[in-house]
Structure 1
Amino acid sequence: MDGTHGSHDTHTAGYGTRDTERWDTEPDKRPGRTAFQRDRARVLHSAALRRLAGKTQVVTPGTRSRAWDASPRTRLTHSLECAQVGRELGAALGCDPDLVETACLSHDMGHPPFGHNGEQALNDFASDCGGFEGNAQSLRLLTRLEPKRFVRDPRSGELVSVGLNLTRAALDAATKYPWPRGGHPTDPGSPKFGVYEDDLPVFQWVREDAPRDRICFEAQVMDWADDVAYSVHDFEDGLHAGHIDPNCLFAEPERREIWAVAIGRYVPADTDPQELAEALDRLVDQEWWPHGYDGSAVAQARLKDTTSQLIGRFCQAAETATFAHHGPGRLSRYAAELVVPREARNECAVLKAVADRYVMQRAEQEVIRAEQRIVIAELAAALTARAPEGLEPQFRAQYETAPDDRARKRVLVDQIAALTDASALSLHMTLTPHPS
C-alpha cells in the first residue's frame, strides 16, 4: 500500500491536520464537508457494510421459535444500532459525532459468515498464515479490500487498492485492539488483535505518534456503544423469541448458572458472584423492567421502553463518570479515557450472560454451529484444492499475483470472510461433492 499522504478535507473542530490526513491525498468532490462526514458516507455506501445484512449476529435467521416473530438482528442491524448509540454518546462527550459513527458502522465489517463461530473456524484454517481475527479483517477491508481508491505503486507501477482511503482518525477510531497477533500488552496469549502482519505499514501510519498500545478515546466510545447495543438487544431478542423466561431470573439455581457464564467471559475471573446478583437486582427492581413478558402488543411496547431505558442508563453512567474524572470540555483522541463505572459494566455483563445462557447455549444452536464449522472447513479445503476456481474476480486476480503460498492462503481467507451466510452455503454446495 503506497500513496501520497495528505488531506484536502475541511477540518472539524477539535481535530488537527494529522487526524484528517488520508493515506492518499484526494480532492473533495463537494467542498464544505468535513473529513469525517466523507468517511461516514464512504462506509455507509460500501459493499462490505451491505453484506453484513446477510451475516449472523447471534441467532441464525430462520431458527426463531415463534413464527410471527420479526427477523432476528443481523450484523448490519447491530452495526446501525451501535452507530446510533455511539454517535450520541460521543457527541455528548465532545467527540466528532461523524467520526464515532464511522467507527461504529465499520467495527464489525471484517466478521465472516456465521458470526464468532465462523471466525473460530477461519482462524483454524489460517493458523499458518497469521490467523484470523474479525477486527484485523475490518482494518484490512477498510484499507485494502473494499475497492474505492487505487494508487500507482512506485516500485511495480501497478495499481494498488488503498480501500476506502479513510482518515487516520477514522481508522484509529475503528481499531479496538491496536497491536498485532501476540502483541496484547498484558496477555500475549490473547486471541484479540487488530492487524495482520502484511497490513502493518498502513497500521503504523495510522498509529504515528499514538501512545503505544493505547486505544484512542473515540474507539473506547465505540467499544462501549458496541457492548451496550449487543447486550441490550440480544436480551430483547431472547425475550421476544421466547427463549428467555423473565421468571427464571429470580430462581437461585438459574442465577448461579448465569454467574458461571459471566465470570471469566464477561467480567474478570475474580468477580464476586454477589456483585452480579446485586447488578441484576438493580435492573429487575426498576419500574420499567419487563416483568411477565408475554409477547402481547402492550408487552412488546414495554420491552421497547426497557431497551431504551437500559441504553440511556448505561450511556449516562459513562458520561457522568467520564466528566467527573476529566472535568468539563471536549474530549477526543488521546486527551482522555472513557470511564465506565464497575456497576454499569456488571449490569451490562449480566445481560450478556443471560442471552448467552438462554439463547446461544440452546442445544439446537450448538447443532447448527457444528454444521457451520464443517461448512467453513470444507469450503476452505475445496477452494485450496481448486483455486482460483470459485473465487470472485477481485480475489482471483489477487490470488494469481500473490507472491507465495502464505499470501495465496490469505486471499482464500479474504474470499471466505467476505461471504454472507447464504453465499457461503451456496458456494459450499457448488464446490463440494454431496451424495445424491
Structure 2
Amino acid sequence: PQSDDFVRNRLTHSLEVAQVARDLSRALGSHPDIAETAALAHDLGHPPFGHNGERVLADLAVECGGFEGNAQTLRLLTRLESKTFDEQGRSVGLNLTRATLDACSKYPWGPEESRDGKFGVYADDGPVFAWLRLGVPAAQPPRRCLEAQVMDLADDVAYSVHDVEDGVVADRVDLTRLDSEAVWATLREWYPSDLAEVTDDELEDVLADLRAVGSWPHAPYDGSRASLAALKNLTSDLIGRFCGAVQHATHAAGPGPFVRYEADLVVPRRTGLEMLVLKGVAAHYVMQAEDRLAVMARQRGLLGELVALLAHRGPDALDRAFADDWHGATDDAGRLRVVVDQVASLTDASAVSRWEALRAPRVASRA
C-alpha cells in the first residue's frame, strides 16, 4: 500500500497521462476527447500491485485464457462495469462508442498473437472486439488508430518522467550522480528488444543530451521549495521536449488529417531513447532497490494466496456481481475467470484487507 503522499498512484498517473494525451492530440488536430478518454481508461484493468500483480494473475489464469491488464481494461469497459444492459439483460459495460473503445486498444490482438505477453482481448470478449474493429484497414501486424498511439505515447512520457521525479523526492535518485553503467545494465535486462541495436556509447550520448536541458539539476535535491520548484520545471521541460519532438516529426511525415487511420504518430528514435534512459534510471534506483524487491515478493505471495482462497470459498467470498457471474459460469475455467475478475477489481489496500479477512478463522454459528 502507498505510504508517501507525494508519490503518484494509479489515479494521479492516469490524470497526468490524460492531460498529456489531450494536449498532444489537440496540437496534432486529432480527436482530443477520444485520446483523453482512452488515457483515463488505460490503467483501469491493472490489478492490485500493478505490473507485479499482473504477472501473478497471468501465471494463475493460464487455464482460463491468461491475464493482461489491457485486455482486462476492455473487459471492464464492455462488460464488468455496470451501466448499460442489452435486451437479454446482460451487462455491456459503459456503452462507449466504437472509436473510443478502439482508442483504448493498446494491443489490438488476442493472446494467440501475444508479443512479450502483451495482448488486448480475451477470447470470450472476441465479439465486442470484432465490433469495435469494424472498418479498420486490414494489416499485419494489426494497426492501432492514431488516438490509441497518442494514448500510448502519453503513458510513456508520463511514466518515464514522473517515475524519476518520484524517485528524486523519495531520495532514491540523485540526478547529479548517476551510475550510468549500472543503469545501462538494468535497462538491457528490462527492455532487451528496445536496445538490440543500441550501444552503451549511444546511451551515454543520449544521457549527455538530457543533462544539457537547462533545468537539469546541478545540485542534489534537498527538499526545499526552491529545489522542488526546480524539479517541477525539469518535469515540465522534459514533457514539452518529448511531445514537441513527436508533434514536429508527425506533422513533417505527411499532410494529415491526423485522425483514426489516416496517419500514424511518429516518435523520433532519439526521443524514444531519451524516454528509455529515464525509465532505466527509475528501474535501477527505484524498482530494483532491495527493500522494493522484498515488498514485491510479499505482494506476489499475498495475491496468489488470495486467488486460491477465493477459488476455494467460491460465491460466498465474492462480491454479489461476481457471485452472480460464478453461478452463471459453465465450467472450472469460467469460474476461475470470475475469481480473476474479482481480484483484478480490487485496489492494493482492499486486496490486503480481503486477504486478511479470508485468512481469519471463521467462527461457527450456534444453532
TM over 0.5: yes
Which residue in the other structure is 1:237 paired with? 166
Which whole-Å CA distance do the structure 2 matches of 1:199 and 1:99 have between them? Answer: 22
- Aligned-residue CA RMSD in angstroms? 1.3
Which residue in the other structure is 1:386 paired with? 313
Which residue in the other structure is 1:262 paired with? 187
Alignment counterpart, residue 120 of structure 2, candidates 187, 190, 194: 194
Structure 1 residue 218 and structure 2 residue 147: aligned?
Answer: yes
Structure 1 residues 275 and 182: CA distance shift in structure 2, 3 A:
farther
Q: Is the 8 A contact 2:64 2:336 kept in 1?
A: yes
Alignment counterpart, residue 304 of structure 1, candidates 212, 216, 232: 232
Alignment counterpart, residue 183 of structure 1, candidates 113, 116, 120: 113
Which whole-Å CA distance do the structure 2 matches of 1:238 and 1:291 have between them? Answer: 17
Which residue in the other structure is 1:27 paired with? none
Which whole-Å CA distance do the structure 2 matches of 1:262 and 1:72 have between them? Answer: 22
In the TM superposition, residue 225 of structure 1 has moved relative to its aligned partner by 0.4
Which whole-Å CA distance do the structure 2 matches of 1:174 and 1:316 have between them? Answer: 23
Structure 1 residues 300 and 71: CA distance shift in structure 2, 3 A:
closer
Alignment counterpart, residue 280 of structure 2, candidates 342, 353, 359: 353
Q: Is the 8 A contact 1:119 1:133 kept in 2?
A: yes
Which residue in the other structure is 1:76 paired with? 11
- In the TM superposition, what are the counterparts of 1:270-281 in structure 2 within 5 Å? 270-281=197-208
Which whole-Å CA distance do the structure 2 matches of 1:372 and 1:285 have between them? Answer: 39
Q: Deviations over 1:314-371 (max 9, x none)?
A: 00000000011113x4311111110011111111001111011001111111111111
Give the residue type in structure 2 aligned to 1:116.
Answer: H
Alignment counterpart, residue 209 of structure 1, candidates 130, 135, 138: 135
Alignment counterpart, residue 83 of structure 2, candidates 148, 171, 182: 148
Which residue in the other structure is 2:269 paired with? 342
| 3-state SS of paired residue (1:247) | coil
Q: Is the 8 A contact 2:176 2:217 kept in 1?
A: no
| 3-state SS of paired residue (1:150) | coil
Which residue in the other structure is 1:170 paired with? 100
| 3-state SS of paired residue (1:112) | coil
Per residue, is there more helix in 1 or in 2?
2
Alignment counterpart, residue 371 of structure 1, candidates 298, 301, 326: 298
Q: Is the 8 A contact 1:263 1:271 kept in 2?
A: no
In the TM superposition, residue 264 of structure 1 has moved relative to its aligned partner by 5.8
Which residue in the other structure is 1:61 paired with? 2
Alignment counterpart, residue 418 of structure 1, candidates 342, 345, 348: 345
| 3-state SS of paired residue (1:151) | coil
Q: Is the 8 A contact 1:61 1:71 kept in 2?
A: no
Which residue in the other structure is 1:319 paired with? 247
Which residue in the other structure is 1:30 paired with? none
Q: Deviations over 1:232-280 (max 9, x none)?
A: 000100001100012322xxxx211111222363433221112211111
Which residue in the other structure is 1:8 paired with? none
Q: Deviations over 1:181-210 (max 9, x none)?
A: 0314xx5xx200000000000001111121
Q: Is the 8 A contact 1:378 1:432 kept in 2?
A: no
Q: Deviations over 1:290-312 (max 9, x none)?
A: 22122211010010000000000
Task: List runs of 5+ in structure 1 lacking aligned partners.
Answer: 1-59, 65-69, 154-158
Q: Is the 8 A contact 2:167 2:285 kept in 1?
A: yes
Which whole-Å CA distance do the structure 2 matches of 1:247 and 1:331 have between them? Answer: 39
Give the residue type in structure 2 aligned to 1:383.
Answer: L
Give the residue type in structure 2 aligned to 1:412.
Answer: V
Which whole-Å CA distance do the structure 2 matches of 1:165 and 1:138 have between them? Answer: 14
In the TM superposition, residue 72 of structure 1 has moved relative to its aligned partner by 1.5
Structure 1 residues 365 and 264: CA distance shift in structure 2, 3 A:
closer
Which whole-Å CA distance do the structure 1 matches of 2:195 and 2:97 have between them? Answer: 35
TM-score normalised to the size of structure 2?
0.94
Q: Deviations over 1:85-106 (max 9, x none)?
A: 0000011111111110000000
| 3-state SS of paired residue (1:365) | helix
Which whole-Å CA distance do the structure 2 matches of 1:295 and 1:259 have between them? Answer: 28
Which residue in the other structure is 1:130 paired with? 65
Q: Deviations over 1:379-416 (max 9, x none)?
A: 11111111012111110111111121111110100000
In the TM superposition, residue 152 of structure 1 has moved relative to its aligned partner by 1.7
Give the residue type in structure 2 aligned to 1:304.
Answer: K
Number of residue equivalences: 355
Give the residue type in structure 2 aligned to 1:178.
Answer: P
Structure 1 residue 248 and structure 2 residue 177: aligned?
Answer: yes
| 3-state SS of paired residue (2:190) | coil
